[in-house]
Structure 1
Amino acid sequence: MNPIAWLFDAQLVIGDQVILWREIVGNAFGLASALGGLRRRVWAWPVGIIGNVLLFTVFLGAVFGTPNPVNLLGQAARQVMFIIVSIYGWIQWSRNRHGDASAPAVTPRWATGRERVLLAVLLVGGTLALTPIFRALGSFEPVWADAWIFVGSLLATWGMARGWTEFWLIWVAVDIVGVPLLVSAGFYASALLYLFYGVFTLIGFVTWMRVQRRADAADAPAAT
């Protein structure tokens, strides 16, 4: 059998629940990408893109005729957004290495006050703007949660590409809303991974914050 065809149709049955292997594998690639982001490695971006392609087909269940005939338009659309922003991040981080493939691709820094205000305005304003659009397109209720996850994911990925340490906290805000939404929609594998992400993102935030402090301490004597 064609491996792609097998992956598209393969299912894991647990009791009366059916989980697509595409959902499990796609989330595994997402987890690997998050680990690469924690270590500030360029390979995090292409690995994440593979997971995005798989999950795009999962969250359009009614379109692709999966056992869970639910469309989460925000979840599906954010996979496309991830691919676009990931290409941007891939290019940015590749440039930052200056030819040293073993070096971390970015030095973490805090966003400026203006950048933080911009992030907050875009998160709230984007959610309000997209909610009626997703509702008109027939997204799963509560639609505002789907919109929040989409906008938050966009901003978190953008923040990661820019090297802002706060991007990890945006992921926490996404996970808090994402877990109950995915459970109610029947995407249990993704909900479980979101729950794990919630812990992982806090670890990532602390890790980047420590790296940033070490970099600031190293720069201080030089500046003096």
Structure 2
Amino acid sequence: MDFLRWLFEAQIPVGGSALVLREVLGNIFGLASALGGMRRKVWAWPVGIAGNLLLLTVFLGNVFGAATPATLWGQAGRQMMFIAVAAYGWYRWREGRSTATQGRALVPSWAPAKVRIALIAALFAGTAALTPLFDSLGSYPPVWADAWTFTGSLLATYGMARGWTEFWLIWVAVDIVGVPLLFSAGYFASAFMYLFYGFFTLAGFFVWWRAGRRESLSTQPAAVPAGAAS
């Protein structure tokens, strides 16, 4: 109990203000999960879940008795969504590891064209549908940005679970909107972390793109030389 009390109350002094320790730790776990995801390691999912649980307590504001800057229902909701989708991704990657090479859980692939269109449409439709809901709950303005980050995070996490290379680009779209929102709301640790994520996700996209090409070529049957069958 003493440890939990310390965890919920601990802050890191920075200049004339302070950062909530749980916010810093949650983002460190999130970064570790992203690194594992780039390497296609199954452990990325449980590590990410641990970070989501910490950040959930942060973005719910004063619900947990912490003096956090503002309540962000979209950010809090996306942590719960992360946990649910991460459980699905954890299961899929564990199943896929039996056929993977070098301990990796899957071979990256491109989503079908119809799926790409559906992902883009779902991003805008989900943002439009959730904006009035988050507004009624009192989420920090601009509320559409909170809804955008929630919807995009859901789609990106699902895309990662399915092994679609495009999921990295969805994260880029989330960060472009989410970073200014977090800075505005006073969540500076998360804002700086997601600013770093923006560059990290671009790197991850190219890593998965090259890995998908390399591993798909390695699984193609070798060409039979002319006359070999005679």
TM-score when normalising by structure 1: 0.95
What residue in structure 1 maps to residue 35 of structure 2? 35
**Which residue does the alignment assign to 1:12?**
12
Larger Rg: 2
SS at match of 1:97: helix
**Any stretches of 5+ residues in structure 2 without a counterpart?**
225-230
In the TM superposition, structure 1's runs of 4+ consecutive aligned residues that sit over 6 Å from their partners are none
The answer as to whether partners of 2:169 and 2:201 remain within 8 angstroms in 1 is yes
Partner of 1:49: 49
Q: How far off is 1:162 after superposition?
A: 0.2
Native 8 Å contact 2:69 2:187 kept in 1: no
Q: Give the AA of the match of 1:35.
A: L
The 1-side partners of 2:141 and 2:17 are apart by: 21
1:157 corresponds to: 157
Distance 1:223 1:88, change over 3 A: farther
Q: CA deviation at 1:64?
A: 2.2
Secondary structure at the aligned position of 2:77 is classed as helix
Match of 1:86 in 2: 86
1:19 alignment partner, SS class: strand
Report the alpha carbon displacement of residue 180 of structure 1 after superposing the two structures with TM: 0.4
TM-score, normalisation: structure 2: 0.93
Pairs within 5 Å for 1:1-224: 2-98=2-98, 103-222=103-222
Using the aligned pairs only, state the percent identity. Answer: 61
| Deviation readout 1:170-206 (Å, 9 max, x if unpaired) | 0000011111000000000000000100111011000
Q: Is the 8 A contact 1:18 1:67 kept in 2?
A: no
- CA RMSD across the alignment: 1.6
- Encode CA deviations 1:49-81: one digit per residue, 9 max, x unaligned: 000000001001132232224110000000000
State the secondary structure of the residue aligned to 2:128.
Answer: helix
Q: Per the alignment, in what secondary structure is the counterpart of residue 98 of structure 1?
A: helix
**1:102 Cα shift?**
5.2
**CA separation in 1, counterparts of 2:102 and 2:219?**
21
Q: What displacement does 1:99 show?
A: 7.7
Q: Secondary structure at 2:157's aligned position in 1?
A: helix
